[in-house]
Amino acid sequence: MLPTFINRDMDDDQTPLRPRCRRGSRGPTRLKRLALRRAAGDKTRVDIDVNIGVAFGPKAYEFMSYLGVVSRERLSILINSWDEVLEVDRNMI
């Protein structure tokens, strides 16, 4: 007996199923937890090794994520490297 394959794009009546509609596109990451903690007055400390420029500690990953959010909001996607970022923008970030 040959295996029967099921076409998942068709229902029982052999009419095409509708594609699933998305409710909206995914918006930018905002790190709401961090913003709420900051608004409440919580000041979290993150240690940075200045020799290699890497954050460490319990909140280091969240800090790096925050830097990514800030840089995506402030810088153009057309910038190819960090060397092309203006000094003013670097200091802001």
The contacts of residue 60 (CB under 8 Å, 6+ apart) are: 46, 47
3-state secondary structure of 89: helix
- What's the pLDDT tens digit per position in 32-80? 787 788 788 888 888 989 899 889 988 888 888 888 888 888 888 898 9
- Contact between 7 and 45 under an 8 Å Cβ cutoff? The reply is no
> For the segment 3-20, what is each residue's pLDDT rounded down to a tens digit?
555 555 555 555 555 666
pTM of the full structure: 0.54
CA 80, 85, 90, 93 torsion-angle sign:
negative
